[in-house]
Chain A
Amino acid sequence: DGGITQSPKYLFRKEGQNVTLSCEQNLNHDAMYWYRQDPGQGLRLIYYSQIVNDFQKGDIAEGYSVSREKKESFPLTVTSAQKNPTAFYLCASSISFLGENYGYTFGSGTRLTVV
């Protein structure tokens, strides 16, 4: 079945360390997205990518970095510069088709905890 796989489901990080969250999709979608979710704050866009080797900052990109070397993969690195990284991270993808918005398909999320 096609879908988005996020790994790991739970991740613990010591303060001052970088950590990378994996997101892989086999839906053949062009666009991919990373969101951060905190209790009571809904979803906030971190980065998005429309095509391979291109990505754009979202609303809260500071302290995060991404790469898009393959269409299927869009890993997110949470750097030590991110002041409050403990959160639930969601990856999503969508068909990038001019003139229509079919919505996103989401992965099951990674919960990152800084200890």
Chain B
Amino acid sequence: AQSVTQPDIHITVSEGASLELRCNYSYGATPYLFWYVQSPGQGLQLLLKYFSGDTLVQGIKGFEAEFKRSQSSINLRKPSVHWSDAAEYFCAVGLISGGYNKLIFGAGTRLAVHP
């Protein structure tokens, strides 16, 4: 069965430090992969998506992700974190199932940023 694992429930970094959020997926083929961000009390906003091609994907807000097929992973990175990046981050696998677009979400990683 398809699944998404985000191993880190909580991560705390200092402002200005680099960030890497991990995501592993289980799927038989190369899936569509997404990273979303959710600020408290808000909906999810798409940061970036990977379909195929270059394994390094650029997103919004200075985020990027690297797809590694051999590790079934797509880790989210940012070189220098800002206090406004404190939020919850969700990784998702996109499938075509029964003719509709299905997203399977990981449990999320909550990011705290220390000044």
Contact = CB atoms under 8 A, between A and B. Distances in A.
Interface of A: 4, 6, 31, 40-43, 48, 50, 88, 90, 92, 94-96, 98-109, 111
Interface stretch (B15-23, B53-61, B68-76, B99-107): B99-107
Contacts of A106: 36, 43-45
The B interface, classified by DSSP as helix, strand, loop or mixed, is strand
Contacts of B42: 108-109
A90 B45 CA distance: 12
A50 B99 CA distance: 9
Given A99-B96, A101-B94, A103-B49, A42 B41 contact: no
For chain B, the bracket of interface size reads: 20 to 34
A43 B101 CA distance: 16
B37 to A, nearest CB: 11
Contact of B99 (A43, A98, A107): A98
B94 A103 contact: yes
Given A103-B34, A104-B44, 6 more contacts: A42-B108, A48-B100, A101-B32, A103-B101, A103-B103, A107-B43
